[in-house]
Chains A and B, each alone.
Chain A
Amino acid sequence: QVQLVQSGAEVKKPGASVKVSCKASGYTFTNYNMHWLRQAPGQGLEWVGVMNPSRNSARYAPKFQGRVTMTRDTSTSTVYMELSSLRPDDTTIYYCARESGVLPKPLKSFDYWGQGTLVTVSS
């Protein structure tokens, strides 16, 4: 069965960086896009970016451009999201989510999600 397992909660100081991992299993890793989204407690969802594990290419939301980097390790079927220059308003839960539909025909919805990683930014 498809599973996405994320790394544990992090506490960081303003200005620091955080790297969150998402280990996939139960499917062919390079056949599906992997997205990162975030959700502040009690708030709506926000799209951060997407990694194409096959092409090793990423696309980021303009809001995070320059601060976010997504990478992947095909040997461990893991996608990483690193966010730098952290600010208190980056305190939120970060999710990885697989995009439905096998590449090169993704379906623009998110069919499997990780359990979420809480990142807290506080001095």
Chain B
Amino acid sequence: QSALTQPASVSGSPGQSITISCTGTSSDVGGYNYVSWYQEHPGKAPKLIIYDVSNRPSGVSNRFSGSKSGNTASLTISGLQAEDEADYYCTSYTSTTTPYVFGTGTKVTVL
């Protein structure tokens, strides 16, 4: 089972918007609306920021938004802030024998 493909790194200046892509297949991202995104700061546990493609949990900033088109999901961070500097992972439910597949991870740098 292959991991979902994410860019290794994305950077932006404070206040800018950035988008992270997450590409899978019709067996995972394209087949289900069960894509979620996690933010991970060094030495900390991952934090859920988007679930079911585009829903934000209570308490998560509305600067984070999610979408999906075909086999590719996307996470957009608008109004980039220094605290957004972290690693971001996507995950999707999948019809294969392992029900969850994760992205390769993207390091976001705030310039």
Contact = CB atoms under 8 A, between A and B. Distances in A.
Interface residues of A, number: 21
Contacts of A115: 45
Nearest to B46: A113
Given A45-B89, A45-B91, A111 B102 contact: no
Q: Tell me which of A35, A47, A97, A109 has the highest count of chain B C-beta atoms within 10 A of its own C-beta.
A: A109
Nearest to A113: B45
Interface in A89-123: 95, 97, 100, 107-111, 113-116
B89 A114 contact: no
Given A108-B34, A108-B93, A110-B36, A45 B102 contact: yes
Nearest to B105: A44
Interface stretch (B9-17, B47-55, B67-75, B78-86): B47-55
Contact of A109 (B36, B98, B103): B36
Interface of B: 3, 32, 34, 36, 38, 45-48, 51-52, 57, 89, 91, 93, 97-105
